[in-house]
A and B are shown apart, each in its own frame.
Chain A
């Protein structure tokens, strides 16, 4: 069962990727899957910007425009940003804490396939021709009125993908609680692990409301429920509450891991210990907590009353405090550091002013009276893109450069990386800075056309040009990936030369059992400590080399999700076709039989013998 003895060839490789439970490979799958949807969401964004580049443009119809904005938002949040971050978490977090694996390798694979199949389900709506069109928030008053199957694709696709996310969250929580190496106390965990931990806890409490919300929407649309139908006593505000109890924490689920990645980068490339580590941890926990307390700031204009608005306004602004702590800690990490401006560092330096601008406009909208003015204008669009692109996407691009060698064993080209950064960064500010003013000038969001005499022509043109510059940046990244993959120059354990945490102590990419022996952690930034004390390998084993227990691969996660995917179509066509109900039952039965097969077989994994590990070690000729 060792990787050395595996068969070669396309079929064998495909089977290997379909059945893998190795967290590093699943990380790559998340990364590729998320990257795929990122491109789709990006193309949707380009189409939106092209429609708005001049007044009275008739490039897309009003209906198609609704489809585009809905799918752009949904795709970018659920299918691009979160999965790519999961990719980094899977690839890096177990290595950072010195673990051999994640807690639930099987569940990890299931989580990935549910995300991917849910995403496919959602995007098949384009091929089917009936696309979700009620915005990514899918407010019930709009979504119940939406004709065709568009919203059904949204509800079922997100239900499947959301289930996968919940599994990933539980998996990371248990991994971090139970599987840390000896000496890796909570207060020695790298910041990326900490932010993953808190983001996972938020997933655990934020996704069940989404599950319920989507079920209620599905019941209303497809099974004659009345939750949101006011004629039958229902109330659409319930959807808004449920959606935002999920939706607000969701933005912190995205931004916290991004903070984690940047914390690693600042520390590595300033060649300094992260300034104020304990306060960084505390700020992360506090943001995680406050993230749940503020959902109604999305609903100021609903008419909840001044008391409720005031409470949520104050709670919202309170989040600026721990976030400010983080910003200053990053600045003080750079201060006096021996700075190396690599591509990841460039992104990190660009992130600080960009994200602060997004944060400031967030505090502005936290003031409920001002929100009445800014609500549903382009100011909002500018604000959340400054947060999500200026925070999360910059972190994803930075992380891609930083962790590429660890994930794939080869370095991305630095010159191309810097070109990519400047295109993306300038394009980003060109696109969204001007949109603040468009908001002040009264341009509402989600409208597909504007008139020439409204005075928005030039600003919109600038915004569109900026968007295309961002696209050029992404294309440079793709070119970079292709070139470096073809050249495929192998790199060593620590290609940046200044790695501080455990993942940089093992080879790139890591061998399938990660560590030949569990490492001993002697402090924060343990590899840095070892290097400073003259141990060039950066790695002290906590125990002698011994047999390693590993999980078996399995095709069952793929089959289970396939069943859900089929059942989704069955549920959608249940009433209007003869085969719909049959397909629904077949799909669910398929999933259930797969689950039963998993339960009945005793899959207790296998052992890698000590001799094989010693042989690997000898071949690498390194590690003591």
Chain B
């Protein structure tokens, strides 16, 4: 594949993310990978639901006392907005507007970073209260489920940062269009998982 081939918005294919066979392979393969990830999170959700609120006798934490919805609501808004900004980025990818795509991806990354910082704050707040990974089955399940999601966010941030800097000088081509596009799929996936965490962990936790 010719990495240096330059396009114009007119010659740029309608679906650059799957214009070549390799791109098509990555596109389908990544969708399948997300299918596997779904099962992975489903297993963690099941474990969390089974172990929710269960700890040793005299265990002092319950979901109602622990969770604070305002914080989680802000986190949710940040992540949902970052999904929207990544959609803008993909819009510019389709139109072969490299500068604007990079800009929107950078905004996406910043929103994701803000989300992650709030999650770090949330975890350290809980640990300060004495709710640590080791103190009950509930805490282990909570930190593993939410932490795995947080880890995915962190991986996504490293991924997009590397992509932005790696391609800063050479612009869009059919080789990296797929890479940008699969990142956006991944980012939406993380967002959807968070919607489930927000519902199953936090909302259902506060309700009881």
Nearest Cβ distance between residue B173 and chain A, in whole angstroms?
10
Near A by CB (< 8 A), chain B positions 133-151 give 133-141, 144
Is B40 a contact partner of A208 (Cβ separation < 8 A)?
yes
Could you pull out 30 A-B pairs where Cβ atoms are within 8 angstroms? A103-B29, A170-B33, A170-B36, A174-B28, A177-B28, A178-B21, A178-B24, A179-B25, A204-B35, A208-B36, A208-B40, A208-B43, A212-B43, A212-B47, A219-B140, A219-B144, A226-B135, A226-B140, A227-B51, A227-B137, A227-B141, A227-B144, A229-B137, A233-B51, A234-B51, A235-B50, A235-B51, A238-B51, A600-B166, A602-B3
Is B133 a contact partner of A174 (Cβ separation < 8 A)?
no
How far is B133's CA from A269's CA once the two chains are assembled, in angstroms? Answer: 60
Residues from chain A with Cβ under 8 Å of B55 in the complex: 232-233
Nearest Cβ distance between residue A140 and chain B, in whole angstroms?
12
Residues from chain B with Cβ under 8 Å of A220 in the complex: 140
**Of the candidates A225, A235, A605, which one forms a contact with B134 in the assembled complex, judged by CB atoms under 8 Å apart?**
A225
How far is B39's CA from A207's CA once the two chains are assembled, in angstroms? Answer: 9
Q: Does A205 lie at the interface of the complex (its beta carbon under 8 Å from any beta carbon of B)?
A: yes
Near B by CB (< 8 A), chain A positions 188-205 give 204-205
Interface size class on chain B is 35 or more
- Mask: chain A, 533-567; 1 = CB below 8 Å from B; 0 = not: 00000000000000000000000000000000000
Residues from chain B with Cβ under 8 Å of A226 in the complex: 134-137, 139-140
Q: Does A110 lie at the interface of the complex (its beta carbon under 8 Å from any beta carbon of B)?
A: no
Residues from chain A with Cβ under 8 Å of B36 in the complex: 166, 170, 204-205, 207-208
Minimum CB distance partner of B141 in chain A? A227
How far is B144's CA from A211's CA once the two chains are assembled, in angstroms? Answer: 13
Near B by CB (< 8 A), chain A positions 592-615 give 596, 599-600, 602, 604-605
**Given A209-B43, A234-B51, are A216 and B144 also a contact pair (CB < 8 Å)?**
yes
Q: Does B129 lie at the interface of the complex (its beta carbon under 8 Å from any beta carbon of A)?
A: no
Q: Does A578 lie at the interface of the complex (its beta carbon under 8 Å from any beta carbon of B)?
A: no
Q: Does B199 lie at the interface of the complex (its beta carbon under 8 Å from any beta carbon of A)?
A: no
Given contacts A170-B33, A235-B50, list 14 more A-B pairs with CB under 8 A: A170-B32, A173-B32, A174-B29, A178-B21, A179-B25, A208-B39, A219-B144, A227-B47, A232-B55, A234-B137, A234-B140, A235-B51, A604-B3, A605-B1
B residues engaging A (CB < 8 A)? 1, 3, 21, 24-25, 28-29, 32-33, 35-37, 39-40, 43-44, 46-47, 50-51, 54-56, 59, 133-141, 144, 162, 166, 175
Residues from chain A with Cβ under 8 Å of B3 in the complex: 602, 604
| Candidate in A219, A223, A232 with the most chain B CB atoms within 10 angstroms | A232
Is B140 a contact partner of A227 (Cβ separation < 8 A)?
yes
How far is B46's CA from A366's CA once the two chains are assembled, in angstroms? Answer: 26
How far is B32's CA from A171's CA once the two chains are assembled, in angstroms? Answer: 10
Nearest Cβ distance between residue A67 and chain B, in whole angstroms?
29
**Given A174-B29, A233-B56, A602-B175, are A208 and B37 also a contact pair (CB < 8 Å)?**
yes
How far is B167's CA from A600's CA once the two chains are assembled, in angstroms? Answer: 10
**Of the candidates B25, B40, B59, B166, which one forms a contact with A212 in the assembled complex, judged by CB atoms under 8 Å apart?**
B40
Nearest Cβ distance between residue A157 and chain B, in whole angstroms?
20
Nearest Cβ distance between residue B134 and chain A, in whole angstroms?
4
How far is B28's CA from A228's CA once the two chains are assembled, in angstroms? Answer: 37
Q: Does A231 lie at the interface of the complex (its beta carbon under 8 Å from any beta carbon of B)?
A: yes
Minimum CB distance partner of A604 in chain B? B1
Residues from chain A with Cβ under 8 Å of B1 in the complex: 604-605
How far is B23's CA from A178's CA once the two chains are assembled, in angstroms? Answer: 11
Nearest Cβ distance between residue B170 and chain A, in whole angstroms?
10
Residues from chain B with Cβ under 8 Å of A216 in the complex: 47, 144
Minimum CB distance partner of B52 in chain A? A233
Residues from chain B with Cβ under 8 Å of A512 in the complex: none
How far is B55's CA from A170's CA once the two chains are assembled, in angstroms? Answer: 39
Nearest Cβ distance between residue B174 and chain A, in whole angstroms?
10
Residues from chain B with Cβ under 8 Å of A209 in the complex: 39-40, 43
Q: Does A569 lie at the interface of the complex (its beta carbon under 8 Å from any beta carbon of B)?
A: no
How far is B3's CA from A604's CA once the two chains are assembled, in angstroms? Answer: 9
Nearest Cβ distance between residue A396 and chain B, in whole angstroms?
26
Is B32 a contact partner of A174 (Cβ separation < 8 A)?
yes
Is A178 a contact partner of B137 (Cβ separation < 8 A)?
no
Nearest Cβ distance between residue B178 and chain A, in whole angstroms?
12
Residues from chain B with Cβ under 8 Å of A223 in the complex: 133
How far is B140's CA from A348's CA once the two chains are assembled, in angstroms? Answer: 50
How far is B38's CA from A209's CA once the two chains are assembled, in angstroms? Answer: 10
Residues from chain A with Cβ under 8 Å of B44 in the complex: 212
How far is B182's CA from A104's CA once the two chains are assembled, in angstroms? Answer: 15
Is A211 a contact partner of B137 (Cβ separation < 8 A)?
no
Is A178 a contact partner of B47 (Cβ separation < 8 A)?
no
Residues from chain A with Cβ under 8 Å of B33 in the complex: 170
Nearest Cβ distance between residue B98 and chain A, in whole angstroms?
17
Residues from chain B with Cβ under 8 Å of A103 in the complex: 25, 28-29
- Mask: chain A, 117-128; 1 = CB below 8 Å from B; 0 = not: 000000000000
